[in-house]
Amino acid sequence: MTDPAGATRFARIRARLEAAQPTSGWQGALYEFLLFGFKQGWACLFGALMLALLLATHFFYPANAPLARYDFLTIGAVTIQLAMLAFRLESWNEAKVILAFHAVGTVMELFKTAHGSWLYPEPSLLRIGDVPLFSGFMYAAVGSYIARVWRIFHFRFDHYPPRWASYALAAAIYINFFAHHWLPDIRIALFAATALLFWRTRVRFMPFRTERWMPLLIGWLLVALFIWLAENIGTFSRAWLYPGQENGWAMVHPGKLGAWYLLMIISFVLVSLVHRERGDSPEVDEVTRIPLETVTFGRIDDSKSEPDRSS
């Protein structure tokens, strides 16, 4: 197996792992499971490093340091980004996604902190208003994960809704994050619209050599759950605080899962724009849809069809 031109460091490692010949039976299933975990961990790399930085500075950063902790976090986030590009751990397309998410997230942060939704209790110089610049990288970590996992697992979709409908839904969700402070919160209607549009949509992915599938709505829920857990780590480190956490840490309310679920949709649609530019949008994948009779228990029967792995 030869390395593709311009492949990232991870792409070369992944190619070697995928060239392995594990035995069949439970050993083969275990190898696929471990490879799935490795790929997921690599897709989460940016976010995992950011969480590690939050915890490390919470426990070990000197209280009397001349550089504020938040400013150190901002510099650290930029350093992580540059290092990932320099060592070819991330592609430039993924870096562009991170920049877009940083901008979208910072705008939301400015609005939400001004309305008391959460706060940043520590001083800093590298900030816009009440929002330290490192906060945008937390949104960027979500975008980074989705962009990377889409590419690493060769995502394709069955019954993906029209592009214009997904764009309209994402725009309505983003507007509601702001407008519900003055107008009625239409979150329930947005959940209903999401279910209506995507209830038939399946994401197909390649952990190893067998193509698997999952309902996209469930996939979003699982990712939202992990983001909620990461948010608990962030508030534990006192990187930001919700009302009621000022005098001691408390678990982030599970109701925030709904907000993260809706944010997942915005994130997913933004990343889909990048893949559309590359020519592997959901609509292109629809053309090569595998017949549903070849699908059994979340597995594509390799004896009946050969999945497209060219993406």
pTM of the model: 0.81
Using CA atoms, how far residue 38 sits from 15, 107, 109, 167, 308, in Å, is: 13, 33, 32, 32, 22
Using CA atoms, how far residue 250 sits from 23, 50, 230, 253, 273, in Å, is: 47, 21, 14, 9, 37
Instruction: Look at residue 73 in the predicted model and tell me its pLDDT.
Output: 97
Residue 250 has pLDDT above 80, yes or no: yes
More confident residue, 77 or 90: 77
Q: What is the residue extent of each domain of the chain?
A: 27-300
Residue 295 has pLDDT above 70, yes or no: no
Instruction: Look at residue 9 in the predicted model and tell me its pLDDT.
Output: 66
Instruction: Look at residue 75 in the predicted model and tell me its pLDDT.
Output: 97
- CA dist 100 and 226 (Å) reads 22
Residue 294 has pLDDT above 50, yes or no: no
Q: In the structure encoding, which two tokens stand for residue 298, read together?
A: 């979340």
Instruction: Look at residue 27 in the predicted model and tell me its pLDDT.
Output: 82
Q: Which residues 6+ apart lie within 8 Å of 75 measured at CB?
A: 67, 126
Best mean pLDDT range from 11-25, 255-269, 283-297 = 255-269
Q: Which residues 6+ apart lie within 8 Å of 62 measured at CB?
A: none
Residue 205's CB is within 10 A of a number of other CB atoms, namely 20
More confident residue, 292 or 105: 105
pLDDT band at 7 (very low <50, low <70, confident <90, very high): low
